[in-house]
Chain A
Amino acid sequence: MEGAPLRAALRALQAGPVLILALLALVMTFASPYFFTRANLTNLGFQTSIVAVLALGQLVVILTRGVDLSVGAVVALSGVLGAIAAGLGGVAALTVMLATGAAVGLLNGGILVGGRVLNPFIVTLGTLSIVRGLALVISDAQTETGMPGLIASTGTSLVGPVPLPALLVAVLAITAWLLLARTQWGRWIYAVGGNPEGARKVGIPVDRVLLSAYLLCGLAAAVAGVLVAGRTDAGSPTAGQLLELDAITAVIIGGASFFGGRGSVIGVIAGALIIGVIRNGLNLLDVTPFWQQVAIGTLVIASLELDVLRGYLERRLRAGQAVAEAAA
């Protein structure tokens, strides 16, 4: 009769990221009088939104057992091309930026599916280099300042007390949750990550599902590119460096499994906020930024261990059930 405690432990693990976030926020509130002020929370909203948008796209890809390392480079290339198109007006620049992300996403998915190269790590490592290189070539390694008002406003506007990017993250998160948890497409994303061979056997169009995942991740990267360009009011070929690692970190801290098929939107948002709170909180406490890296790295490894623990608890539960059946 140890099924009940095991199940309870599994549920606690599922709520893990949100609990960690709440605990962190509580500790920071007591540790620094500035943490829970409107100015700081607004600042936190601006800072976290870029990683959160990237992480939402990354989640979809990681759910399919993939990974997309090219998203930071997409931030740069979309910014560079957006700055070039700035003269054509805000809508045109925005379209160019989103199209850039979609194109890179389709390229990633296309190589993976069409080229039968079944290693997303290597494929997107290649496109990371290609896209970053293109951004440098096209911009001649120069940062172009002056984005159209539509894009620049995303970096600075407040809607009431809420930063516009944070509002955007909320809308995107709800949309992602609806798609992943409530639609057939979402069910297929989880199925492809849970058992790719089995997904083919039950007639799921696996290639199209994978293509759609990388397309959405590319689009999310372009949205993050808009936010970065808005914040800096510039298109820079060196923008977004290592942002891909932040995005993956947020997804893993958010409780998604790197082995595919497991992960939730709420966890990922919590993961992005955990990274934001650690950085912001340690800044407020005057801890050198180098310790932030140590803290976040430790959290990544701890999160992976929690995923392993989850697997272990599930096996125990299954074994317990088989014993119970045999006894019945």
Chain B
Amino acid sequence: MTPLAEVRGAVKSYGPVRALRGVDLEIEAGEIVALLGDNGAGKSTLVKALGGVHRLDAGEVRIGGRPVDLRSPAQARALGIETLHQDLALFDNLSAVANFHLGRELRRPRALRRLGLLDERAMAREWTAQAERLGVRLPDPRAEVGLMSGGQRQAIAVLRAVAFASRLVILDEPTAALGVRESRQVLELVTRLPAMGVAVVLISHNLEHVMQVADRAVVLRQGRCVGEAAPTPEHHEALVSMIVGASTTAATHGEEPG
């Protein structure tokens, strides 16, 4: 079966820094893949290529078996790939509803469409429907996001990524800024995505969280893929040593089993 998304031979440098040195990654439909690795291992660079934020120097991205040239986040979004960025990419000066729809605002139909007149009512309705479906609650979604707490901001960013994704959601450290309770809510939401036909790439430093939700863990180190394993308690030690590069024997789990 063709994977939902794959990256082949990804190479990317930032000036003299070689962030990716030939990485392969396959994501099957409906699976949750964890990307592990130390700071600077290339995780964020890899998902930025998938999300259309950066283009690769060499290598290719395939979606549904077809090579695609992702030149912008808008293109990735059009293909059903959504990203929760580490910095959240929220707009403090806009409301939660406006943040949610940003870049794909609903416009009034017919004659006024060409003017790009916003359909605020339809956008508020859409927000309410999606927030209910995915279990996000805010006291006032029309208030500016700058006035909201860290947990509420995270919830808005997660909802935006998850609600519009039809193929793949990339979550870059979705629980990093959260308390125990909010983290659990986000992870619960993540586990519900495969049932909706959406695959997940999860970047996290928290191995506990990865073991709770991921089907598969891929480890990057110094811009290379150094191995993968099922994220179970038995493999905990092996995963850790792959991440820090302590033992090379643990890194020979080889290709994916299935």
Residues of A bordering B, CB below 8 Å:
182-185, 187, 190-191, 193-195, 197-205, 261-262, 314, 317-318, 321-322, 325-326
Contact of B72 with A184 in the complex, beta carbons under 8 Å: no
Q: Which of A184, A194, A203 contacts B93 (CB 8 A)?
A: A194
Given the interface contacts A195-B90, A198-B90, A261-B91, does A314 sit within 8 Å of B147 by beta carbon?
Answer: yes
Q: Does more than half of chain B's interface fall in helix, strand or loop, or is it mixed?
A: loop
Contact of A318 with B149 in the complex, beta carbons under 8 Å: yes
Q: Which of A191, A205, A318 contacts B102 (CB 8 A)?
A: A191
Q: Which of A187, A195, A262, A321 contacts B89 (CB 8 A)?
A: A195
What are 9 A-B residue pairs whose CB atoms fall within 8 Å in the complex? A190-B93, A194-B93, A197-B89, A198-B90, A199-B102, A202-B103, A321-B149, A322-B150, A325-B152
Contact of A184 with B105 in the complex, beta carbons under 8 Å: yes
B61 at the interface (CB under 8 A from A): no
Please, which residue of chain B has its CB at the minimum distance from the CB of A198?
Answer: B89
**Residues of the A chain whose Cβ atoms lie less than 8 Å from the Cβ of B179:** 326
Q: Does more than half of chain A's interface fall in helix, strand or loop, or is it mixed?
A: helix
Contact of B92 with A321 in the complex, beta carbons under 8 Å: no
Contact of A183 with B91 in the complex, beta carbons under 8 Å: no
Contact with A along B70-111 (1 / 0, CB 8 A): 001111010000010101111111100010001111010000
Interface residues on chain B, size class: 35 or more
Contact of B117 with A182 in the complex, beta carbons under 8 Å: yes
Q: How far is the CA of A190 from the CA of B103 in the complex (A)?
A: 12
B67 at the interface (CB under 8 A from A): no
Contact of B77 with A183 in the complex, beta carbons under 8 Å: no
Given the interface contacts A194-B94, A195-B89, A195-B92, does A187 sit within 8 Å of B102 by beta carbon?
Answer: yes
Q: Which of B91, B105, B150 contacts A195 (CB 8 A)?
A: B91
Please, which residue of chain B has its CB at the minimum distance from the CB of A259?
Answer: B93
**Residues of the B chain whose Cβ atoms lie less than 8 Å from the Cβ of A185:** 116
B131 at the interface (CB under 8 A from A): no
Q: How far is the CA of A202 from the CA of B103 in the complex (A)?
A: 6
Could you say which of A194, A200, A202, A205 has the most chain B C-beta atoms within 10 Å of its C-beta? Answer: A202
